[in-house]
Structure 1
Amino acid sequence: MATQQGCLGGRLHADLTEHVPSYRAVPRELLDQIWHRHFQRALAVVREGKVPAPEDFDEADVAWDRVARGVPLSDGLRAFRRALSAIRDLFLAEATGRGLDPGLIVDRTKRLWDLADVASLQIAAVHRQAEVASALLDARRRADFLRGLLYGTLSAAEIHSGAAIYGLDLTRPYRALRAVPNGDVGPDALERSLQSRGRGDGRVALFTVLDDVVVGVVEKKPETGGLEVTAGLGPPTDLAAAHRSFRAAGRLLEAARAYALRGVYDLSDLSWRVAVVAEPELAELLLDRYLRPLEAEGEFGALIEESVRGYLEKGRHVREVARAAHVHVNTVRYRLRRFEELTGTSLDAPDTAVELNWALAARELKAVSLRNRCTAAELG
């Protein structure tokens, strides 16, 4: 049998490349090395009638090589079974041709099948370990690339290299995204969902999890459907400037969370409200100027604020405000006039409209923050 190892190995190689296409990526010299290992192990089983223990099978190098070359586990097991079948057929031909005892032939044939079973289980185990380790390594590399890209620490050469690896087009603009899960969804599950939703129609999306926040780059605003997520989406830019888009995405995420919003928000969605969150001192100043003077009026002050808010929301149409509040037009006019008296401002002034909207948004932020604290206290 030993004299026929090379010839049999050549036929096996031709058989594998024809029937197991993924093995075409494995160089012939590597297949010859593995074939020699399997053949010698099988000869030892035929000679001694003993099958090695699972821990005596060292297939880690083979598993890593196959995983790196994209050979699936099913193909690896098919190749091994074909190799053992070829060795078994050779043994049966030689043993019967030389008149070995039939009982011995049956015993050694059974031992070869035992070898196939034990080795297959071990190959499967180390292959899965290699797949998991490879996936973790790839995830770490992807995280390192995105961290450098989004924080602006990569060189031009590193950006080009990473773009080639992860399928990013250097000629196309991308938008940075920062997202946090809501409800029971964890960051890893959110990453997978965004990854699948961000791709399609030839688009590319690349994400990772950094400090429990899903970050990445997309070509267009992802559809979230019923996904429990709050996210900020930066403006489109080339990859070399992705860190600028990432900073903007951070501010947008902070604002969206402050307003307890759900979904993906960019600057066109939140506009000046982003600045309300970022400038708490200015918000306090405008609250003092426009809304706190109403508090001395008690319940009537709350009605004044309601009418002023409606006045701004309805495009300064008093009749629409009155219709929505189910009150007379003159009632609304009186409330608006009283607001101007209490605050010393004019609702017709452009600055007043801007500053009053800012103050109302700041009041909304405080209400959201209070609700969140109450919810947290109840849960605690």
Structure 2
Amino acid sequence: MTVDPATTDQQPQPGRTAAAAVAAHLQADIARLAATATVGILEQIDSFRGRDLPRADVDAHVRFFLEAGIRALAAGRTAATEAELEAARAYGARRAADGVPAEDVLLSFYVAFRAVWEETSDVLAQRDDLGELLPAMERTMLWVQYITSEVGAGHRDALAGASMARLAASRRLAEALDDPTVPESELHTALERLGFDPEGGFHLWVSRRTADASRLRAIQSRLEEGPGRFVVLDTPGEVVVVGQGWQPAAQAEEALLEDGGGPVGVGLVRSGPAGARRSIGDARRALRAGGGRPGAHRYADIWPFALIADVGAGHVPLLDGALDTARSHPHLGEAVREFADHGFSVAAASRVLSVHANTLRYRLDRWQELTGLDCRTYTGLITSRAAVELA
């Protein structure tokens, strides 16, 4: 809202009534009152201070509404003018856009008008016509209630509008990420509308699960506690997180895994709208390669198996025997996995599996007998590990 002094009402004429006289006194000292109120708001309300709102902007609005309240006091009216109500709605919408919670916006009016009430008490102490003044002040309090009600309505409407716009942009982003026929320019626009830098790097996570609206909000809120920019997308059978900026990947993974969430696929960080599409593809391939096991499956760690899984029938003959063995003897496949994942150390792998080292050696030998693949050779190990992941 731009405060235009030319649109304000005529100043109260002092001397006509006791209320007008008090209003004239307050108006004469409005610069000091507004400055005091502004300091009080910035000192007492964290969201005003934490959002780094321009001091001049806060001061201009404080002064506008204080002067409007003083005019209402002088006139002895409870109803706000249409111009005042319009200004109140616009102010509520402005603070909603700044991210200031509604309760803090309303609290700021209490803080600001308290400065007026304190000043009024000093003036009243010097007067002998309280019988006339008190009803006028009560009417002014009703005026403040009308104004703050409109401020709250403006804040609420702005948030509802922003929420609908964000929901529409989120749905469009989900569609554009999944549909390669959607032009990259539309994907660029969807990312931009959600506050991302379309040319920056994107990191995507995918969890194969459904989540209700409250669960999605909980994930979004948790991610917003840290740095970076995140949007949670609800797609059929999946929850997708799009991230940008520095953020420990573990936090996004934990947010998706908590409360018994299904496995999570983690894509690579890739640049631009096309990179966002590739990263969600990474995450889904990692999920497939993970075979439904719980936990986070990072494409960076299992990309060879993810690629083999994507290639399809062309490589199946190389894996047929090992796939059958891994499916029919899962304890042998588990031995192969832990041996590979623990530095080819029999001692380390056997500790993880809680078996004797000789038992692990026997299982690796048995795997070789059944598949013809020696896990102690590079080719045998990579083929065996791929079969275990795809089984």
Shorter-chain-normalised TM-score: which range?
A: 0.5 to 0.7
Measured against aligned partners, the alpha-carbon deviations of 1:56-82 in whole angstroms (never above 9, x if no partner) come to 966312322344467741223322444
Q: Matched residues in 2 for 1:134 and 1:85: separation?
A: 38
- Is the contact between residue 230 and residue 241 of structure 2 (CA under 8 Å) also seen in structure 1? no
CA distance in 2 between partners of 1:308 and 1:209 (Å): 35
Partner letter of residue 209 of structure 1? Answer: L
Match of 1:178 among 205, 212, 216: 205
Contact 2:291 2:389 in 1 (8 A): no
Normalised to the residue count of structure 1, the TM-score between the two structures is 0.60
CA distance in 2, matches of 1:210, 1:76: 39
Aligned pairs (5 A) from 1:201-212:
204-211=228-235, 212=239
Aligned to 2:240: 213
Give the aligned residue type for 1:235.
Answer: L
SS of 2:35's equivalent? Answer: helix
In the other structure, the counterpart of 2:8 is none
Q: Which amino acid aligns with 1:180?
A: S
* CA distance, structure 1, for counterparts of residue 224 and residue 290 of structure 2: 22
Aligned length: 329
Q: Which residue of 1 aligns with 2:275?
A: 242
Q: Which residue of 2 is the match for residue 15 of structure 1?
A: 33
Alignment of 1:1-380 (within 5 A): 2-3=12-13, 8-9=26-27, 11-21=29-39, 24-26=55-57, 34=65, 37-45=68-76, 51-52=78-79, 59-68=88-97, 72-73=104-105, 74-82=107-115, 103-116=131-144, 118-119=145-146, 122=149, 125-126=152-153, 128-129=155-156, 132-133=159-160, 136=163, 139=166, 143=170, 153-154=184-185, 174-180=201-207, 186-197=215-226, 199=227, 204-211=228-235, 212-219=239-246, 221-224=248-251, 227-229=255-257, 230-239=263-272, 242-252=275-285, 254-255=287-288, 258-263=291-296, 265-279=297-311, 281=313, 285=317, 288-292=320-324, 310=335, 314=339, 324=357, 326=359, 335=366, 339=370, 347=374, 353-363=381-391
**C-alpha offsets along residues 343-368 of structure 1, whole Å, 9 cap, x if unaligned?**
xx5648865554443333222xxxxx
1:287-326, Cα deviation, whole Å (9 max, x unpaired): 644454x69xxxxx956x7557746864799999995464
Contact 1:187 1:213 in 2 (8 A): no
Aligned CA distance change for structure 1 residues 140 and 37 (closer, same or farther; 3 Å)? farther
Query: Structure 1 pair 243/110, CA: closer, same or farther in 2 (3 Å)?
Result: closer
- Could you report, residue by residue, the CA deviation over 1:231-265 in whole angstroms, capped at 9, with x for unpaired residues? 433333444653354244433453376433323x4
The CA deviation string for residues 271-299 of structure 1, in whole angstroms up to 9 with x for no partner, is 3222354355457655644454x69xxxx
Q: Could you tell me how far apart the structure 1 residues matched to 2:131 and 2:62 are?
A: 33
Asked whether the 8 Å contact 2:169–2:190 carries over to 1, the reply is no
Contact 1:286 1:359 in 2 (8 A): no
Which residue identity lines up with residue 89 of structure 2 in the other structure? A
CA distance in structure 2 between the partners assigned to 1:141 and 1:216 by the alignment: 18
5+ residue gaps in structure 2?
A: 1-10, 15-22, 43-53, 258-262
Contact 1:195 1:206 in 2 (8 A): yes
* Whole-angstrom CA distance in 1 between matches of 2:208 and 2:98: 35
CA drift of 1:122 comes to 2.0
Q: Quick one: distance in 1 between partners of 2:140 and 2:71?
A: 12
Cα distance in 2 between the residues matched to 1:34 and 1:308: 73
Cα separation, 2, equivalents of 1:70 and 1:346: 60
SS in 2 for 1:176: strand
Q: Which runs of 5+ in 1 are unaligned?
A: 296-300, 364-380
The CA RMSD over aligned residues, in Å, is 5.4
Contact preservation (8 Å) 1:179, 1:253: no
Q: What code does the residue aligned with 2:13 have?
A: T
| TM-score for the superposition, normalised by structure 2 | 0.58
